[in-house]
Amino acid sequence: MTEAEARAQLDRLWARGTVFLGSRYALLGGAMSWVSERSLVAAISNAGGFGVIACGSMTPALLEAEIAATQALTQQPFGVNLITMHPQLDDLVQVCLRAKVGHVVLAGGIPPGGAVRAVKDGGAKLIAFAPALVLAKRLVRSGADAIVIEGSEAGGHIGPVSLTVLAQEILPHLRDVPVFVAGGLGRGEAILSYLEMGAAGAQLGTRFAATAESIAHPNFKQAFVRANARDALPSVQLDERFPVIPVRGLVNAGTKRFLVHQAETAKRFQDGELSKEAAQLEIEHFWAGALRRAVIEGDVENGSVMAGQSVGMVSAIQTVAEVIEELVAQATAALMAR
**87/146 same-domain check:** yes
Strand ranges, E, within the chain: 27-29, 52-54, 79-83, 103-107, 125-129, 146-150, 156-157, 179-182, 201-204, 232-234, 247-250
Q: Are residues 187 and 83 in the same domain?
A: yes
Task: Specify whether 167 is located in the same domain as 297.
Answer: no
pLDDT at 165: 98
- 239 & 185 share domain: no
Q: Residue 237, by phi and psi: left (phi above 0), alpha (psi -120 to 50) or beta?
A: beta
Please state, for a pLDDT cut of 70, what percent of the chain lies above it: 100
- pLDDT (0 to 100) of residue 256: 94
* Confidence (pLDDT) at 333: 98
Indicate which CATH number applies to the domain containing 326: 3.20.20.70
Identify the band that residue 132 occupies on the pLDDT scale cut at 50, 70 and 90: very high
Amino acid 334: pLDDT: 98
Average model confidence (pLDDT) for the chain?
97
Q: Are residues 82 and 136 in the same domain?
A: yes
Q: Give the dihedral of Cα atoms 62, 65, 67, 72; nearest 10 deg.
A: -160
Tens of pLDDT, residues 136-158:
999 999 999 999 999 999 999 99
Q: What is the mean pLDDT of residues 76-100?
A: 97
What is the secondary structure of 142-154 as a DSSP string? HT-SEEEEE-TTS
Residues 270 and 194 in one domain: no
Co-location of 174 and 241 in the same domain: no
> Are residues 173 and 41 part of one domain?
yes
The answer, as to whether pTM is greater than 0.85, is: yes
How would residue 311 be classed by pLDDT, with cut points 50, 70 and 90? very high
Q: DSSP code of 310?
A: G
Amino acid at 10: L
Considering the domain boundaries, does residue 221 fall inside one? no
Summarize pLDDT for 232-262 with one digit per residue, the tens. Answer: 999 999 999 999 989 999 999 999 999 999 9
Q: DSSP secondary structure string, 154-183?
A: SSEE--SS-HHHHHHHHGGG--SS-EEEES
Helix, strand, coil % (nearest 5) of the chain?
Answer: 50, 15, 40
Same domain? 197 vs 263: no
Residue 220 counted as domain residue: no
pLDDT, residue 288, reads 86
Q: How confident is the model at residue 305 (pLDDT cuts 50, 70, 90)?
A: very high
**pLDDT on residue 241:** 95
Cα–Cα distance for residue pair 333/335, rounded to 1 Å: 5
Whether 78 and 184 map to the same domain: the answer is: yes
List pLDDT tens digits, range 79-88.
999 999 999 9
Parallel, antiparallel, or unpaired for β 125-129 and 103-107? parallel
Nearest 10 degrees: CA dihedral of 264, 269, 272, 275?
A: 140
* Residues 61, 27 share a domain: yes
Q: Is residue 130 part of a domain?
A: yes
Q: Residue 263 falls within a domain, yes or no?
A: yes
Nearest-Å Rg of the Cα atoms of the chain is 20
277-283: long-range pairs with CB below 8 Å, 24+: 279/242, 280/242, 280/243, 283/242, 283/244
**Which pLDDT belongs to residue 260?**
95
For residue 180, the model assigns a pLDDT of 98
Instruction: Look at the chain and report how many structural domains it folds into.
Output: 2
Round to whole Å and give the CA distance between 279 and 28: 39
Residue 223 included in any domain: no
Greatest alpha-carbon pair distance for the chain in Å reads 72
Task: Please check whether residue 222 lies inside any domain of the structure.
Answer: no
**Domain match, 301 and 319 both:** no
Q: Which residues pair with 126 in a beta bridge?
A: 104
Domain of 288, in residue numbers: 228-306
Mention every residue, 6+ apart, whose C-beta is less than 8 A from residue 108: 83, 84, 85, 157
